[in-house]
């Protein structure tokens, strides 16, 4: 066990976050901007962000919502569709508007209906991305309804990811929000061209937590949490210090009414206490000294960006995390572990 009372690390970045738009963006973005220097912003709006103009406008709305006096850089992504134009994507990358392209297999998750139906259709885009060194960020689950939901990530590795990495040997890929020991082992087998993000919630909950004492819709996300053994494999990877593994919260706010429903949305909103949650997981594993590489060094290394110069400090202190966050008169969002005691607190 670590006996540390406080830890100071370089300011971290969030390499996978959903900031949404409109009133929801206004309500949630401050939480991410308070903790992180930069964030890779997911493009699964409705309609999705597929053009340079849409991404620049969205970036402007994010910066306006953050407000003045806070140094936070949103890094934009392009939503890959069957109709994607390789010229638009490469121009967006060269002009510094797009940092990466996001692949959603069609039907895999929230707002993924416009996603890719068959990888062969986008091979021209992947060819260009490989050439210019533009990363592909992958939601790694097959959508075949015959595949058990708990197996969709492992099957994706065999059916889609491994063949794609063979076909495009220089393409840089991030396997997003990994949830299985198979994913950990596969990432390790591929060297530095394959990164992986790991969420705080997948380090802290397993599939039993979704059903503890009753059904808990706020713990439902995609990829869904797996067995305890997989969680421990993720914890071991995150705390290993290996450069392939880095922080991505996948913070994905939905209103409490959309979550607490007969068919509740997938997504866990962890932004308000993201670093506290990661610190909690790392401290439990006795590996707080590895938090900085995971949260602040490995991601910039993968993306070829400088590390942040400022620092943040977390102190060991029991406190009660916030409860619901109001979006507007009728909409509230409940953060992960709202109302529960956290052992670490970020101090400004």
Q: Is 227 helix (H, G, I), strand (E, B) or coil?
A: coil
Tokens of 277: 């949650």
Q: Is 341 helix (H, G, I), strand (E, B) or coil?
A: strand
Which C-beta is closer to Zn ion: that of 197 or that of 293?
197
197 touches which of ligand DOR, Zn ion, none (CB within 5 to 8 A by kind)? none
Q: Is the dihedral of CA 13, 265, 341, 199 positive or negative?
A: negative
Q: How many CB atoms lie within 10 A of CB 40?
A: 25
**Residues 86, 122: Cα–Cα separation, whole Å:** 9
Which C-beta is closer to ligand DOR: that of 109 or that of 180?
109
Which C-beta is closer to Zn ion: that of 76 or that of 288?
76
267 touches which of Zn ion, ligand DOR, none (CB within 5 to 8 A by kind)? ligand DOR
Measured from the CB of residue 293, what is the shortest distance to Zn ion in angstroms? 23
298 touches which of Zn ion, ligand DOR, none (CB within 5 to 8 A by kind)? none
**Residues 260, 217: Cα–Cα separation, whole Å:** 6
Measured from the CB of residue 221, what is the shortest distance to ligand DOR in angstroms? 3
Which C-beta is closer to ligand DOR: that of 269 or that of 344?
269
Provide the b/e sequence for 213-233 (b: ≥16 CB within 10 Å): eeeebbbbbbbbbbeeebbeb
109 touches which of ligand DOR, Zn ion, none (CB within 5 to 8 A by kind)? ligand DOR
**Residues 273, 210: Cα–Cα separation, whole Å:** 20
Measured from the CB of residue 133, what is the shortest distance to ligand DOR in angstroms? 25
Which C-beta is closer to Zn ion: that of 66 or that of 252?
252
Stretch that binds Zn ion, among 99-107, 224-232, 248-256, 337-345 (CB under 5 A): 248-256
Stretch that binds Zn ion, among 59-67, 163-171, 220-228, 250-258 (CB under 5 A): 250-258
CA max distance for the chain: 54
Name the residue with the smallest CB distance to Zn ion. 250
ω into residue 223 within 30 of 0, thus cis?
A: yes
The string of DSSP codes covering 100-151 is EEEE-BTTSSTT-TTSBS-GGGGHHHHHHHHHHT--EEE------TTS-GGG
Interhelix angle 274-284/22-35, rounded to 10 degrees, is: 50
Measured from the CB of residue 109, what is the shortest distance to ligand DOR in angstroms? 4
Measured from the CB of residue 21, what is the shortest distance to ligand DOR in angstroms? 12
| Catalytic (active-site) positions | 250
Q: Which residues contact 227 (CB under 8 A, 6 or more apart)?
A: 150, 206, 207
Provide the binding-site residues for ligand DOR, judged by CB under 6 A: 18, 44, 109-110, 139, 221-222, 252, 266-267
Measured from the CB of residue 334, what is the shortest distance to ligand DOR in angstroms? 14
SS (H, E, C) 49-106: CCCHHHHHHHHHHHHHHHCCCCCCEEEEEEECCCCCCHHHHHHHHHCCCEEEEEECEC
222 touches which of ligand DOR, Zn ion, none (CB within 5 to 8 A by kind)? ligand DOR
Which C-beta is closer to Zn ion: that of 251 or that of 296?
251
242 interacts with Zn ion by CB under 5 A = no
Stretch that binds Zn ion, among 188-196, 247-255, 285-293, 304-312 (CB under 5 A): 247-255
276 interacts with Zn ion by CB under 5 A = no
105 touches which of Zn ion, ligand DOR, none (CB within 5 to 8 A by kind)? none
Q: Give the residue, chosen from 14, 250, 276, 292, that forms a contact with Zn ion under the rule CB under 5 A.
A: 250
Can you give the binding site for Zn ion, defined by CB under 5 A?
Answer: 250
């Amino acid at each position: 066990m670590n006996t540390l009372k406080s830890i100071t690390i370089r300011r971290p970045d969030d390499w996978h976050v959903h900031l949404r738009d409109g009133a929801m963006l206004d309500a949630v973005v401050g939480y991410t901007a308070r903790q992180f220097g930069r964030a890779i912003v997911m493009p699964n709006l409705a309609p999705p962000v597929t053009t340079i103009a849409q991404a620049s406008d969205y970036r402007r709305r994010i910066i306006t919502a953050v407000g003045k006096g806070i140094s936070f850089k949103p890094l934009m992504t392009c939503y890959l569709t069957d109709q994607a134009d390789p010229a638009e994507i490469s121009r967006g990358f060269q002009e510094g508007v797009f940092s990466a392209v996001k692949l959603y297999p069609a039907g895999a998750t929230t707002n993924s209906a416009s996603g890719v139906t068959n990888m062969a259709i986008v091979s021209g885009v992947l060819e260009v991305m490989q050439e210019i060194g533009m990363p592909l960020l992958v939601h790694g689950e097959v959508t075949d309804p015959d595949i058990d939901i708990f197996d969709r990530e492992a099957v994706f590795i065999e059916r889609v990811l491994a063949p794609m990495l063979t076909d495009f040997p220089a393409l840089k890929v991030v396997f997003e929000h990994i949830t299985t020991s198979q994913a950990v082992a596969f990432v390790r087998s591929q060297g530095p061209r394959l990164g992986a993000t790991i969420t705080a919630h997948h380090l802290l909950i397993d599939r039993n937590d979704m059903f503890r004492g009753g059904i808990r819709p706020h713990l439902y996300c995609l990829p869904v949490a797996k067995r305890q053994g997989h969680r421990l494999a993720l914890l071991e990877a995150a705390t290993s210090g290996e450069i392939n593994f880095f922080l991505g919260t996948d913070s994905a706010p939905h209103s409490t009414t959309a979550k607490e429903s007969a068919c509740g949305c997938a997504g866990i909103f962890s932004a308000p206490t993201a670093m506290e949650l990661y610190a909690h997981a790392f401290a439990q594993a006795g590996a707080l000294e590895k938090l900085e590489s995971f949260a602040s060094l490995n991601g910039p290394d993968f993306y070829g960006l400088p590390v942040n110069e400022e620092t943040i400090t977390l102190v060991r202190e029991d406190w009660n995390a916030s409860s619901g966050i109001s979006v507007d008169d009728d909409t509230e969002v409940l953060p992960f572990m709202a109302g529960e005691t956290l052992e670490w607190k970020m101090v400004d």
